[in-house]
């Protein structure tokens, strides 16, 4: 049976959730699943805004059929061509062959790439920046949003009801469980962390492009945001909060003046040093310290934490004369996601040739505005009194920097 949700006199939610998926994009764990959102506007002409992943194809097609209730489907607006949103496009067109497919030039090129045998002759509307589509009462304006996070992306603004259909922008990990709207959720630290993890890993690399979209959105009266993943935003102060979060993330400014310690330890010596440092920071009244074993915690959570916190410590054993593989992977991932504007400290370990500190420094060299707080603390196998004192000195430096950041 269908499970469409009526959002207004003319707007319907047609999406659903997948709780069986282990990894989003076959990369990022989604223990609470993922939603695939699609919307239908019932005007003089009917408009479907994006399709969905194959995982929910069956119920999605039921939703369309139930809401249309015999009416034709006139337009399909394709804001984003990634397969978790376009995989069922051909299935929809098979059932509604008269629909006109609306999208940017790059969108239509990608449709040919994904659906080479799909005949859209005479059923294509190609749109540019600020082009509009009138469907009766509603007037849709198209805004190009390249590299948020694919090159073909558009967002669609309903000028009538002041709704921004935002593609992958403003999305989050996690299935929807009956509550479609963000204001129906507690949206506590966990929901925020999943939204941040989504942003940092999916969109985080493209801060400049996100800023460009935010600048365009600033000129719009937005009373609702309908993303392709996660809840819908409809309360003014929550929309403002959401935009402020995106602005901070897009400019790579930390949210919290806090310390996160990432460590890679083989036989416990490096882990012990990380614990000594964490305890010393606690004694210096640093709050909410976080520690992560990079071999245990999935890198998507680590990237998210690096986007959140102002001060980052990387403590790594040397492995085959290189950085320990999981630590190297983390730092390379941070560089790939364009992380910048952080204060960092390094701790290295090695039983005969500790070089992980030097190697980590080289990995950070491509990243902008990374402030090294002091020289690398070096251990050989295990820390002793000399290293304990160096770690205490590092704790002093970190604490001083954290407290100074709070007063800027």
Q: Are residues 227 and 361 in the same domain?
A: no
Instruction: Give the list of residues 6+ apart from residue 342 with CB closer than 8 angstroms, or none.
Output: 254, 306, 309, 310, 311, 312, 369, 370, 371
Residues of the chain scoring pLDDT < 70: 407-408
**The residue to which tokens 């000594």 are assigned:** 276
Cis geometry, peptide bond prior to residue 93 (ω within 30 degrees of 0): no
The CA-atom distances, in angstroms, between 290 and each of 166, 281, 302 are: 33, 11, 11
Q: Are residues 219 and 87 in the same domain?
A: yes
Q: Of the candidates 215, 250, 285, which is a domain's last residue?
A: 250
Residue in 91, 84, 87, 90 with CA at minimum distance from that of residue 36? 84
Distance separating alpha carbons of residues 316 and 331, to the nearest angstrom: 11
Contact 51, 28 (CB under 8 A): no
Q: Of the candidates 214, 230, 250, which is a domain's last residue?
A: 250
255 is a domain residue: no
Contact 55, 36 (CB under 8 A): yes
Distance separating alpha carbons of residues 302 and 308, to the nearest angstrom: 10
Beta strands across the sheet bearing 139-144:
132-134, 139-144, 154-158, 163-165, 224-226
382 is a domain residue: yes
> pLDDT digit string (tens) for 107-143?
999 999 999 888 888 899 999 999 999 999 999 999 9
Distance separating alpha carbons of residues 168 and 177, to the nearest angstrom: 20
Distance separating alpha carbons of residues 94 and 403, to the nearest angstrom: 61
- Please name the helix (run of DSSP H) or strand (run of DSSP E) that holds residue 107, with its range, or none: helix 105-114
Distance separating alpha carbons of residues 229 and 61, to the nearest angstrom: 18
**The residue to which tokens 């790439």 are assigned:** 113
SS (H, E, C) 319-372: ECCEECHHHHHHHHHHHHCCCCCEEEEEEEECCCCCCHHHHHHHHHCCCCCEEE
- Please give the tally of structural domains in the chain: 2
Q: Are residues 276 and 320 in the same domain?
A: yes
Reading the block at residue 96, the tokens are 């509604």
Q: Are residues 266 and 245 in the same domain?
A: no
Q: Are residues 274 and 306 in the same domain?
A: yes
406 is a domain residue: no
203 is a domain residue: yes
The CA-atom distances, in angstroms, between 229 and each of 5, 10, 24, 85, 392 are: 16, 21, 12, 10, 44
407 is a domain residue: no
Q: Are residues 173 and 297 in the same domain?
A: no
405 is a domain residue: no
The CA-atom distances, in angstroms, between 286 and each of 158, 261, 303 are: 47, 13, 21
pLDDT for position 82: 96
Q: Are residues 306 and 325 in the same domain?
A: yes
Please list the helix, strand and coil fractions of the chain in percent, rounded to the nearest 5, in that order. 35, 25, 40
Q: Of the candidates 194, 221, 250, which is a domain's last residue?
A: 250
64 is a domain residue: yes
Distance separating alpha carbons of residues 335 and 45, to the nearest angstrom: 46
Three-class DSSP category at 170: coil
Contact 86, 54 (CB under 8 A): no
Contact 312, 360 (CB under 8 A): no
Contact 355, 348 (CB under 8 A): yes
Q: Domain range spanning residue 358?
A: 261-400
Distance separating alpha carbons of residues 16 and 178, to the nearest angstrom: 10
Distance separating alpha carbons of residues 290 and 268, to the nearest angstrom: 18
Give the HSE-up count for residue 270: Cα atoms under 13 Å, Cβ half-sphere. Answer: 32
Q: Are residues 238 and 266 in the same domain?
A: no
Q: Are residues 12 and 158 in the same domain?
A: yes
Tell me, what CATH number does 10's domain have?
Answer: 3.60.15.10
Distance separating alpha carbons of residues 75 and 41, to the nearest angstrom: 10
Contact 249, 341 (CB under 8 A): no
């Amino acid at each position: 049976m269908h499970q469409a949700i009526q959002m207004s006199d003319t707007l319907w939610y047609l999406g659903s959730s997948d709780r069986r998926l282990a990894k989003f994009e076959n990369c990022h764990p989604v223990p609470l699943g993922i939603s695939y959102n699609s919307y239908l506007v019932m005007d003089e002409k009917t408009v479907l805004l994006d399709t969905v992943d194959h995982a929910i194809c069956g119920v999605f097609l039921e939703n369309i059929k139930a809401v249309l209730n015999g009416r034709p489907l006139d337009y399909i607006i394709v804001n984003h061509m990634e397969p978790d949103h376009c995989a069922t496009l051909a299935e929809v067109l098979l059932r509604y062959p008269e629909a006109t497919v609306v999208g940017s030039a790059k969108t239509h090129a990608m449709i040919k790439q994904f659906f080479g045998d799909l005949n859209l002759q005479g059923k294509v509307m190609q749109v540019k920046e600020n082009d509009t589509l009138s469907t009766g009462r509603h007037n849709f304006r198209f805004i190009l949003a390249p590299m948020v996070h694919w090159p073909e992306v558009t967002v669609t603004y309903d000028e009538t009801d002041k709704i921004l259909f935002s593609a992958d922008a403003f999305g989050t990990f996690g299935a929807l469980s009956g509550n479609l709207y963000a204001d129906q959720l507690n949206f506590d630290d966990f929901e925020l962390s999943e939204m941040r993890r989504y942003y940092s890993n999916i969109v985080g690399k493209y801060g400049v492009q996100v800023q460009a979209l935010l600048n365009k959105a600033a000129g719009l009266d937005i009373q609702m945001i309908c993303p392709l993943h996660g809840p819908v935003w409809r309360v003014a102060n929550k929309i403002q909060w959401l935009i402020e979060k995106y602005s901070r993330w897009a400019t790579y400014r930390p949210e919290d003046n806090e310390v996160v310690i990432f460590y890679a330890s083989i036989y416990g010596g490096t882990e012990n040093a990380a614990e000594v440092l964490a305890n010393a920071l606690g004694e210096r009244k640093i709050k909410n310290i976080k520690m992560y074993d990079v071999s245990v915690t999935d890198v998507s959570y680590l990237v998210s934490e690096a986007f959140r916190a102002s001060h980052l410590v990387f403590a790594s054993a040397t492995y085959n004369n290189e950085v320990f593989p999981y630590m190297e992977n983390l730092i390379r991932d941070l560089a790939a996601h364009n992380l910048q504007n952080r204060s960092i400290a390094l701790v290295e370990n090695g039983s005969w040739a500790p070089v992980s500190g030097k190697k980590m420094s080289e990995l950070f060299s491509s990243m902008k505005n990374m402030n090294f707080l002091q020289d690398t603390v070096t251990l050989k196998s295990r820390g002793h009194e000399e290293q304990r004192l160096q770690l205490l000195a590092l704790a002093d430096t970190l604490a001083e920097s954290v407290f100074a950041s709070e007063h800027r």
